[in-house]
Each structure stands twice: as C-alpha cells, then as structure tokens.
Amino acid sequence: MPIFTNTSAIWGTLIFLGLIAVYIYKRRSRNILVSSLMFFSKSRSTAEGGQKLHKLQTPLLFFIELLIFLFIILAIADPMSLHRGQLIPVSIILDDSVSMTAGGENSPYKLSLKYLENNIFSQSLYRITLILVGNKPKQIGRRDMNPYEADNVLMNWKCESNTSNLMEAVAQELELGEDDSIVIVLTDHLEEKKNHSERIKWVSFGKPLDNFAITGANRSSNGKTDRCFFEFTNFSSKDKEIHAEIIDETNNQLLEQVTGVISANSSRRTIVKVRDQKAVLKAVIKSDDIDYDNEVVLLPIKKEKLKVSLKFENKQLSDIVKKAVLATELAQLTSEKPQVIISDKKIKGDENLLTELVIHNATESYFFNKMIASDKEHMLTADLPLENALWAVDKDLKKSGKTLLAEGDLPLLSLDDNSELWSTLTLNYSFSKSNLHQTSFWPVFFYNLMEWTLQRQEGPSSNNFRSGSRIEVGVDNKTSSLFLQRETGTSDKNEKTEGIVKNKKALFISGRPGIYSIFNEDKTKNYKVSVNLCSYEESDLSKAKSSEKLPEIITNENMVHFESVKWWFILIAFALLILHQWLISNRRSGYAF
C-alpha cells in the first residue's frame, strides 16, 4: 500500500462539492405529448424565478467523474511505494525493567504494545528486529521478522528486570544495523542525552507516580540468632503513612508491624532478631498499589562449616594455623573427608577436597621488610592488610600458577587452580624466622581463605540474591549442567534455564523476584534461593515521563526505499476520462411522440 507525502492535497477533495452541486441543479428532461410537431415549438412552461432545485441525480457519468477527480487528487498527493518490495529495517528496543508495569492498564508496557500494534505491526512496510534490554541487550526471535512473527515473539517481553541499559542497546544497533535502519526505543522515561540522529525514535509512555518500596533486605548470623535488616522508602513528594508487616512464614508468626508516617523521599530502617535460624522471613507492604516492589523473602543463610584437616610435622606451626582457622568461625577440624587441607608439603587428596594450602618452609631463608605487591581483584588478597612485617622466604622457590602476592619477581603466595580436582595455594613462608603470624595479615588471610573456599563448595554461594546479580553454584566433578527454575512469582510461565558448568561452577543471572530451585538432570541435587528486587532505580517513578509528541517513523533518510507511483494514478484517471467521453458521444438522442 502506498504512502502519501503531500498531505495538503486533501484540500482538493473540496472539488467534489462543486460536482455534486452541478448534479443537484441540473435540469431534467421531460416527456411532452403533442398531436403534431408543428405544435412543439408552441409549448410553454409556467415562468419560475431562479434555478429549480432537484433531487441529486446519480447516473454512471457522475461516479466516473468522481473517480477521475479522486485519482487526480491522489496523484497530486505524491504517492510513494516500496521499491520492488524492499522493506524498511526497524530495530525495536524494548525496556524490560519492572517499572514499565506501573500504572495497570495505562502502564508504559500496555501503551507500548498498543503503539506497536497501531504503528508497526499493522503495516507491511517493515522488517523487524526485537531487542529486549534488561541488564544486557538480548535479541529475541530472528532478525528481520515480518509483523506476524514479531507479534508472536513479543510475548517474551515481560518487564521483570531490575534495570535496563538502553543506551548500550542503542549504540549496539547503530553499529550492527544497516546504515538506514530505524531504531525505536520504547521506555517510560525521556532520553537523558539528546541525540542528533534521525534514525533514533525515542518513545516514552511514563507517568510520575507515588510509590512505597522495600529497597533493602539483608540477613546475617549473630551467634545463635539471625539479624534481619529491612529498608522501607517513600518515593513521593509528600509525607505518607505506611503499613507493613514482617512475618515468620515457617512458624506463621507476625514478628513486627511497621506503621507511621515516612517523610517525602525518605526511608525507615528496621532490624529484627530471629531465634529460629531455619525460619523463612517475609516483609510485605500493604499500603501501596504498585506491587512489584512490595515484598521480599529471606531464606535461612548458609550455616555449614568447612571441614579442615591440618597435617604438619612441626607442632608449633600446626598450633599457630589451628588457632587462626578456628578464629574464623567458618571451619571445623576433622580428618574425615576434608574440604580444606593445610600442610607443609603436598599430599594426595580425594574428591571432596576443594582447597589445599601448602606452607613452604625454606631451608635457607631470604629476609626482607618492605611493602609487597598484591592482586587487588582476587578475593584472597583484595583486603589483606600489607604491613611492614618481617618476611622469611625461600628465594629459590619456583613460580607455579598465578601469583597473588610477590616481592619483585619472587612469588610469596601463588594459586595453581586445577579445575579437574582442587586448587593448590603455596605460601612462601618460614614461620620460625618471621613475625608475619603476629600481625593482622595472618587472621585476615585465613578468614579470606575460608570464605573463598565456602563459595567454591557445592551449592549456591548464598541463599538470598538481588535481581540482576550473579548466582554462582558449586558442583562436583560428575555434574555437567544445572537448571534454574522459578517456583513463585508473578509469571504464569516458569521457564527452565540451563547453566553450563565450567571450573566446577555453574553461573546464572538472577532475574525477576521469587523463589527459585536449582537442580541437576536427575534432581538428586536441589537447592533453593530467593531473589528480591530492592532497587532504588526501578522503585523511584518520579522521573517517569511521556513523549510530548510521537516521532514520525518515515523520514527523508528512509525515502531511498520508496519510488513514486503517481503515474499509475494519472494513467487510471486518463483511462476513466476516455471512458467518460465515449459514454457521452454514444449517448442515445431523445425521441418525439
């Protein structure tokens, strides 16, 4: 179907009024009965003043004349059609953040669907690519889909992410897309930085709304009790009253009610101590209509201690290490199926072993007392206090694996990460000639060692996550894949996501809030994790705005896909004109009786 670029030609339809007027005032023929032709000229009619108005006469000629004028007007409107069926490439960037669902039937999500239906899918001008943007841009469906395909794929747009990196997606499409492709962004806020490209069409359907939200939730162990922290925030320009509850779901018990007035753009923090450390806690706001950020669930934190075995020939060194390990409160000493072995020489472990720490004692020590270099990105050494301690090390120790601590080219702490079995750490240290174990370095190092190993054991690194964060799950050597599936939440369809195992870990990105199960193929391993939104960015709706005017999709840059077809309209009008003249010339003459 052609498009018309000269819309002012519509004024030409006023000529139809003149044509209709001609046929309204046109005189009609009459039958006159006379006895002889000699009396025909004597026929007289009663004199009447002005034109006589008749009922509109609509013979075939009238409709042909209407069509002639119509096609001439359409030709003046400069009709354009796609050149040889060449479709316009359109990339549609969909904001997948949860704030798109705020507002019910008038939410930006619902209005965006209507916009696509009325302006894109209802026309056969485009080949469509859909880009879903949450934490990372993700193409859904294939590139260059027809409107029917794109409409079916659009059901994957559910708006359940904790953020949306729209500008990254726009830059990616401008780089990967065709030079004349159109990029349409559907979101709930205006463009932060105005672009100068006509190819980008920023369409916003947002509206500022007042909102209460749970913006923080955390659970930690404090000996025999758990400490649970909750933050309630009023994203509004005025003070509002809150009504929220903190519930022990396991024992069906109300732990605390949160009531009162929270000032505009302010927060209230609540701490609850829980004796039942296996209880599942839930916090719910009951005084707010926007429900996607009104609930959080905190599962019990992981309490299992690491099994550590000490194997030293030197009792003094064994006692020093034992004291540091037990001080972390993350480990228990055992000789049965240890997960961590600390010794002064390499030994043979089994399939349960995760970490081996070898403290290498030099026969001839090299001494120094100065600052050393460390790997600031690795968990083992990121927060180590590097004091000016007296180091006594083996100068001839060969480098093995990745160096985490070093003095020049001399390795002090190295990591040999054998993904098939376990990781071996080598600490270059002569304890009898050094005071390193008497500094703050020593307890912090062993705490980091236990914490790092805990994250590498089987199961998720934690039981509670924020939306968009990484869920790392440790596995044994026999597990090749794990699956993540949501059990609770707002979605009707809980898809199963597969995580490929690499280096004895499976990685998932937490999505929409809810309770998830993580399991292997035969479900012999099954873990539960909770994902909560807790996002200032998605709960603050005060900056949501709508576009003042919807942008035009077809611009001058896209006209290369079109060619003028006005000559077809002119030819049709000319053919109708010939038919009109033929009908007039062959019209039957009148009869006299």
d(CA 5, CA 447): 72
How far is residue 359's CA from residue 346's CA, in Å, rounded to a whole number? 9
What SS3 state is found at 330?
A: coil
Under 8 Å between Cβ of 259 and 301:
no
User: What is the spatial distance between Cα 421 and Cα 503, in angstroms, rounded to a whole number?
Assistant: 9
Q: What pLDDT does residue 476 have?
A: 79
Mind listing the pLDDT tens digit for each residue in 140-179?
999 989 989 999 999 889 898 888 989 999 988 888 878 7
Where residue 259 falls among pLDDT bands split at 50, 70, 90? very high
Q: Edge-to-edge strands of the sheet including 306-311? A: 331-333, 306-311, 340-343, 355-360, 423-428, 410-417, 402-407, 373-374
Q: Higher model confidence: residue 428 or residue 322? A: 322
Which token pair is 14? 């006023």
Q: Phi, psi at residue 212, to the nearest 5°?
A: -100, 145
d(CA 170, CA 177): 10
Q: Which helix (H) or strand (E) is 20 found in, with range?
A: helix 15-25
Residue 150 has a pLDDT of 93
Q: Where does 278-389 have alpha helices with state H?
A: 315-327
Tokens 């195992």 label which residue? 501
- The band of 62, judged by pLDDT with boundaries at 50, 70 and 90, is confident
Cα–Cα distance between 186 and 147 in angstroms, integer? 17
Element (H, E) at 247: strand 240-248
How confident is the model at residue 457, as a pLDDT?
A: 81
The helix/strand/coil state of 324 is helix
Q: What is the mean pLDDT of residues 22-48?
A: 58
C-alpha angle with apex 434: 430 to 435, nearest 5 degrees?
A: 135
Strands 464-466 and 526-532: parallel
Q: What is the pLDDT of residue 14?
A: 74
- Which residue reads 């100065």 in tokens? 370
Q: Is the Cβ–Cβ distance between 285 and 242 less than 8 Å? A: yes
Instruction: For residue 25, give Cα distances in angstroms to 68, 213, 339.
Output: 21, 73, 105
pLDDT (tens digit, 9 = 90+) per residue, 196-250? 677 889 999 999 999 999 999 999 887 788 999 999 999 998 999 999 999 999 9
pLDDT tens string 549-586: 888 876 666 555 666 667 777 888 888 888 878 887 77
Q: Kind of pairing, strands 295-298 and 459-460?
A: unpaired
Is it the case that residue 114 has pLDDT exceeding 60?
yes
Classified as helix, coil or strand, 337 is coil
141-151 per-position pLDDT tens digit: 999 899 899 99
Tell me which amino acid residue 514 is.
G
Record the tokens describing residue 317, joined without a space: 């060194």
Q: How confident is the model at residue 588 (pLDDT cuts 50, 70, 90)?
A: low
489, 514 contact by CB (below 8 A): yes
Burial (0-12, 13-18, 19+ Cβ within 10 Å), 36: exposed
Residue 35 pLDDT: 60
Separation between Cα atoms, residue 30 and residue 47, nearest integer Å: 16
Categorize the per-residue pLDDT at 491 as very low, low, confident or very high, splitting at 50, 70 and 90: very low
CATH number of this structure's domain 306-454, picked from the four choices 3.40.50.1580, 3.60.21.10, 3.60.70.12, 3.40.50.880: 3.40.50.880
How confident is the prediction for the chain on average, in pLDDT?
A: 83
Residue spans in the chain of domains classed CATH 3.40.50.410: 84-208+543-554
C-alpha span between 348 and 2 (Å, rounded)? 78
Only one residue has tokens 């806690």, namely 281
Question: Where exactly does CATH 3.40.50.880 map onto the chain?
Answer: 306-454
Q: Which two structure tokens, joined as six digits, stand for 509?
A: 């990105």
Report the pLDDT averaged over residues 90-102.
93
**pLDDT for the residue 590:** 46
Query: Which one of 3.40.50.410, 3.30.420.40, 3.40.50.300, 3.30.1450.10 gives the CATH number of domain 84-208+543-554?
Result: 3.40.50.410
Q: What is the pTM of this model?
A: 0.70
Please write the tens of the pLDDT for every residue from 346-405. Answer: 777 677 788 889 988 877 778 878 778 888 888 888 888 876 778 878 887 877 788 888
- State the Cα angle at 100 between 99 and 102, rounded to 5°: 65
Q: Please report where in the chains the tokens 């932060």 appear, as a residue.
A: 192
Amino acid code (one letter) for 284: V
Residue 222: predicted pLDDT: 76
Question: What end-to-end distance do the CA atoms of the chain give, in Å?
Answer: 54
User: At a CB cut-off of 8 Å and minimum separation 6, what does 320 contact?
Assistant: 431, 437, 442
